[in-house]
Amino acid sequence: AQLKPEEQIEYRQAGYSFMAWNMGKIKAQVVDGSVPYNKAQVVAAANAIAAIANSGMGSLYGPGTATDQMGDKTRLKPEFFKNLDEANKLARNFTGAVDKLASEAASGDQARIKTAFGEVGKTCKACHDQFRTK
C-alpha cells in the first residue's frame, strides 16, 4: 500500500539525514582533514550514500507531500509537481554523482574522491535551489 504523505516525508528525511551524516564523514577525512583518512570508512560512507540514493526515493515524493498541503513538515515546494521532468533530471544527476563517489572511494585516490565529493554536493544544491524552500 502507498505510504501516507506524513510517512513519505519521514522516510525521505531519514534518508537525507543518514546521507548527510555520511557526507560529513567523507568531508572530515578527505576535504577538511580534520579526521585522518581511513579508506574503509570512506568506502563504507560512500556505499551507504549510494545505497540510499538508489533505493527508490522517488516513490517518497507522492502527491500531497509538498508545503502547500503539509505545511512546515516539509520544505518541498509545490512547484516540484509541475516540473517532474526537471526533478527527475536532478535526481539522475544526483545518483550519477553518488555512484561516481562510490567508485572513486573504492580507488582510494583522495584527490579524486575530493573532486567527486564536490560534484555530489553540487547536485544536492541544484535540487535545493529549485525545489526546497529557504
Q: Please, where are the H alpha helices in 27-83?
A: 39-53, 67-70
Q: Is 127 in the site for ligand ASC (CB under 6 A)?
A: no
Q: Is 124 in the site for ligand ASC (CB under 6 A)?
A: yes
Residues 6-25 that bind ligand ASC (CB under 6 A): 20, 23
CB 11 within 8 A of CB 3: yes
Q: HSE, CB side, 13 Å, CA atoms: give it for residue 120.
A: 27
- CB of 27: closest distance to ligand ASC in angstroms? 7
Contact letters (x/-) for ligand ASC, 26-65, by CB under 6 A? ----------------------------------------
Return d(Cα 22, Cα 70) in angstroms, integer: 28
Residues that bind ligand ASC (CB under 6 A): 20, 23, 121, 124-125
